Structure 1
Amino acid sequence: MHQPPRSAIRAGGMVLAMCLLARPVSAQTVSEGLSPTLANVKRTHVVRLGYRESSPPFSFLDQSNRPIGYSLELCEAIVEEIGVEVDDANLRIEYVKVTSDDRIPAIVQNKIDLECGSTTANAERAKQVAFSPLIFVAGTKLMVPRASTISAPTDLKGKTVVVTKATTNEQAMHTVDKKFSLGLNIVPAPDHEQSYQMLADGKVDAFATDDILLYGLIARHKSQDKFKVTGEYLSYDPYGIMYRKGEPQLKAVVERAFRKLGSGRDLVPLYNKWFVGRLPTGEKLGVAISPQLEEAFKVLDDTQGSSN
């Protein structure tokens, strides 16, 4: 059989290569260089934000049942940076309700892209998910009726305490119970609102969760005359925005969004909007920024300066 000359084969190969290079680049081809989350965003033009219904001022519903809050604003800044990364300035946000119990599975199972709530970033959770830079520092405290004499862990002996299911506060109360041999009756509720309601209905002696969430719930329910936040910190809880683990490109996008906020000095005003000023729903927390958080924001600004 007649074989074509090698020069012809080489020439044919070059023509084929040129034809392949000249093909129009499809969205799928462009997405091939993106991490799984970013590739899906580019394909669907949607970023799915997980929100909480009753974690003011981080993530909650306004009078029109629209998700709002400090964490959601931070997530919206990340969405803008995702738009830059995938070259799509018109990304749509889809809000997906999550609870304390299903928020981590929602990230792991690809039901949401970012979790914008009041989630503690700790080593145990970091085995499953990734976290943004620090957005807040909280700790477990107790909400009790104004007339209650509870002011320390030892005052809880034999008492019933409600916690929100699958939170670090639940773990903290079990630790306190064991440490002081309190014989606590620890009751888990599905979400912070239900936990609050159990205390309001007199079914429990105290509600244990992060101090800032307790202040937020008291302000939201205008119940300053009914309840107080008391006791020492029973845990240390640094908050972060959750996203999928094992995606270095997504991690870079999240951290770049925070550095931009830091360099623009937008983080402290954003904090003040949600924690010091009056909320869109009318409440006012009046919680000044902690020195630890202010320093963490300053570090982001310094990082941006050194990377320019």
Structure 2
Amino acid sequence: MKPIRLLAALFLSAAFAVAAAPSSALAADADSGALKVATDATFPPMEYTENNARTGFDVDLMNALAKAMGKQVQWTDIDFKGLVPGLVAHRFDVAISAIYITPERAQVVDFTEPYYAGGLVALVKANSPIKTLADLNGKKVSVQVGTKSVNFLAQNYPQVHRVEVEKNEEMFDLVGIGRADAAVTGKPAAYQFVRTRPGFRVLDEQLTTEKYGIAVRKDEPQLRDALNGALQKIKADGTYAALVKKWFSSK
């Protein structure tokens, strides 16, 4: 084959390989040192913004995992309800945002090993007549769209009048101004709110006890395994325990 034709054939072969490669693979090749991670930073103490910077347990944990993997984190902010669809659509590689591991979600995405135990609780005003979970029946309860709270209340507390909002902080605001009698949300966020805002309390009885996991696509088992390995590493070297103490020691 003549040199010019040989070069042309090699060029076409390379072009075809690039065109045929999955977009996620191309993105990884272009920026192999970056891990694209999405979160909804409105859920303190798990993830939130302070002084225009992301902070929280999940944020610190993800940064520690990435460091153990030799990668940098490239963050994307997105509403909670868009985390799983965005992950499936290859908008990012990982989703961490106090996501409960549920059978329904596990049908669509893969999860790492659980990294923290939480559960749903009810938050009310300190002077509220609501004392038990049964007292929620017939009351207005605020919940965040896209979270397990919505379906859980619909299935287990059908007499509750759900008030669905987009952002986590809106749930608490509605309770504060009296437009909702209670808010059902994750345990860490509820206790964080009570610590920082007087005049509220959390019911003693939890609605559920569940575990948080980091979500990845089902076609990325290597990434899931790498995250699990990094989690084991930071637990072994004391990093994980230090983060738990930093964010939850006052409970």
How does the TM-score come out when normalised to structure 2? 0.84
One-letter code aligned to 2:36 = R
Change (3 A) 1:35 1:130: farther
The residue that corresponds to 2:171 in the other structure is 195
- CA drift at 1:192: 0.7
Name the CA distance, whole Å, in 1 between partners of 2:228 and 2:134. Answer: 42
CA contact (8 A) 1:160 1:184 kept: yes
Match of residue 51 from structure 1: 39
Distance (Å, rounded) in 1 between the aligned partners of 2:211 and 2:142:
22
Match for residue 189 of structure 2? Answer: 213
Residue 46 of structure 2 contacts residue 188 of structure 2 at CA under 8 Å; is this kept in 1?
no
Q: Following superposition, which runs of at least 4 residues in structure 1 exceed 2 angstroms of deviation?
A: 34-42, 44-47, 77-83, 91-94
* Aligned residues of 1:101 and 1:165 also touching (Cα < 8 A): yes
Question: TM-score, structure 1 length as denominator?
Answer: 0.70
Once the two structures are superposed, what CA deviation does each residue of 1:63-116 show, in whole Å capped at 9, x if it has no partner? 2x1111211222223323544xxxxxxx55322112221111121111121212
Tell me what 2:100 maps to: 120
Count of matched residue positions in the alignment of Structure 1 and Structure 2: 235
Runs of at least 5 residues in structure 1 that lack an aligned partner in the other structure: 1-15, 21-25, 84-90, 277-285, 288-308
- Report how far residue 231 of structure 1 moved: 4.1
Q: Quick check: 1:35–1:249 contact (8 Å CA) kept in 2?
A: no
Q: Which residue among 44, 51, 73 is the counterpart of 2:60?
A: 73
Identify the residue that residue 8 of structure 1 maps to in structure 2.
none
Cα distance in 1 between the residues matched to 2:160 and 2:97? 28
- Decide which structure has the larger Cα Rg and report it: 1
Letter in 1 for 2:54: P
| CA 1:158–1:120: 2 relative to 1, 3 Å | same
2:84 corresponds to = 104
Indicate the residue corresponding to 2:208 in structure 1. Answer: 235
Say which SS state the counterpart of residue 103 (structure 2) adopts.
Answer: coil
| Cα separation, 1, equivalents of 2:223 and 2:24 | 7
Cα deviations across residues 187-245 of structure 1 (Å, max 9, x unaligned)? 111021111111112111000111211112233xx312x11001411122210111112
The percent of aligned pairs where both chains have the same amino acid is: 23
Using the TM superposition, give the Cα deviation of residue 149 of structure 1 relative to its aligned residue in structure 2, in angstroms: 1.5
Distance 2:232 2:181 in 1: 43
Q: Which residue type is aligned with residue 68 of structure 1? A: T
Whether 1:169 aligns to 2:156 is no
Q: CA RMSD in A?
A: 2.5
Of 260, 263, 285, the residue aligned with 2:236 is 263
Question: How far apart in 2 are the matches of 1:75 and 1:253?
Answer: 13
| Unmatched segments (≥5 aa) in structure 2 | 1-5
Counterpart CA distance in 1 for 2:26 and 2:236 is: 28
**SS in structure 2 at match of 1:218:** helix
Q: Does the Cα contact within 8 Å between 1:78 and 1:254 map onto a contact in 2?
A: yes
Which residue, out of 50, 62, 68, partners 1:62? 50
Letter in 2 for 1:223: R
Of structures 1 and 2, the one with the larger relative CO (CA 8 A, separation 6+) is: 2
